[in-house]
Every structure is written in C-alpha cells, then in structure tokens.
Structure 1
Amino acid sequence: MILHTLNQGPANRACLESCLEAMAPEDSLLLIEDGVYWLQPAFAELLPAQGKLFALSPDIQARGLEIALEQQVDDAGFVALSVSHDKVVSWF
C-alpha cells in the first residue's frame, strides 16, 4: 500500500495523470502544496474517490481555498498517513 503525494497543480496535468496511472486500488493520494488546487470543482472529477483522497489542510488554508473534503489532514495527519502506508512516492 503506497501513499502518493502530489504537489503539482492543474498547470501540470501530466503529473497528475502519471500519478493516477501508477496508483493501485489500495493506494492513497495526498494533495500537498499547489496540488490542493485539484480540489476545485473544475478538476475534482479527475481525482480518486473519497476515502483514498486526502489533502493537507495548512496548504488549503495558505492558498485561501474553501474546500469541502472530509479527509483534510494537518501535519500530524500527514505523518500518520506516511507511517500507515508501506512507502511514500512523491510526484513533483
């Protein structure tokens, strides 16, 4: 089980597509930094279903976004996700 972290926003759609192609059904995706922009309504249909999708709440707040995502995590949640998965793969 892999935690994929994505820090690229919609300007780099190829990065998201590569990440999603590499994800197995049991993997999770954590959006960080500019990756949280994918949560905007125009792009949300491209993302995995809730339960496998997480976003770093400080990055959402830092960008002034108002996103309704149940699985927002803080820095401690990021660490918890990292240790609960077998490995972490960063997409940037």
Structure 2
Amino acid sequence: MSTLHVVSHSPFTDSRLDSCLRLCGTQDAILLCGDGAYALQPASAPCQALQSRGVKVFVLAEDSQARNLAVPEWAGSVDYPAFVRLSIDYGKVNTWL
C-alpha cells in the first residue's frame, strides 16, 4: 500500500526526515510542509538525500514561498487543494510528528 509521508520539521534540527527516508518505499511520496520545506535548500545533505532516494517529493507552495526556497525540477509544488488530493490518492498518510 502506498503512503504519503508528511514531514513538517526542519531536517537540520532533528532526524525525522532521515527516519522517513529509511522507511519510504518505491510507491511512497513525501510532502514537505512548514519547516520541512528547508530540506529543499540547494546543495544541502537533505536535498541530496531526497533527490537520490527516487521517491516522489512534494512541497506545500505556501511554505516554500514563505522561506524563499526554489522548488527543484524533480519536486512538485502543491497548494492546499492538491494536498487534499494527494491525501486521497495514497492509501495511507503518515505524519511525522
């Protein structure tokens, strides 16, 4: 069953994103929101880990814009209605609290 993993904490202050990446399967996706969007800082270890892992990555547009982060070509930018659609499209939603 596919899972949408929602990560809202900065990868620079804890290890939730690392734990999430260890559990992600090939059919899973990660949605970065809140401070989780900082994982998209260019040339950072979290950004490289997300890109090399090969899972689908999405970021909440409002959060990337608020943090002045460009969304890389390999990631998708979504608004709130698209976030709801993603939650429906995946079999499970796991929020990394």
- Using structure 2 for the length normalisation, give the TM-score: 0.83
Q: Deviations over 1:3-47 (max 9, x none)?
A: 000001122341111111111111000001000000011231111
Distance 1:55 1:65 in 2: 10
Q: CA RMSD in A?
A: 1.6
Q: Deviations over 1:59-91 (max 9, x none)?
A: 111222233345100001100100000110001
Percent identity over the alignment? Answer: 37
- Whether 1:75 and 2:86 are equivalent positions in the alignment is no
- Secondary structure in 1 matching 2:70: coil
Q: Which moves more between the two structures, 51-60 or 62-71?
A: 62-71
- Whether 1:5 and 2:12 are equivalent positions in the alignment is no
Q: Give ranges in structure 1 of 5+ residues lacking alignment.
A: none
Equivalent residues, number = 91
Distance 1:45 1:13 in 2: 17
- Secondary structure in 2 matching 1:20: helix
Query: 1:17 maps to which residue?
Result: 18
- Secondary structure in 1 matching 2:19: helix
Query: 2:56 maps to which residue?
Result: 52
Contact 2:4–2:90, Cα closer than 8 Å, also in 1: yes
Q: Give ranges in structure 2 of 5+ residues lacking alignment.
A: none
Query: 2:39 maps to which residue?
Result: 38
Query: 1:63 maps to which residue?
Result: 67
- Using structure 1 for the length normalisation, give the TM-score: 0.88
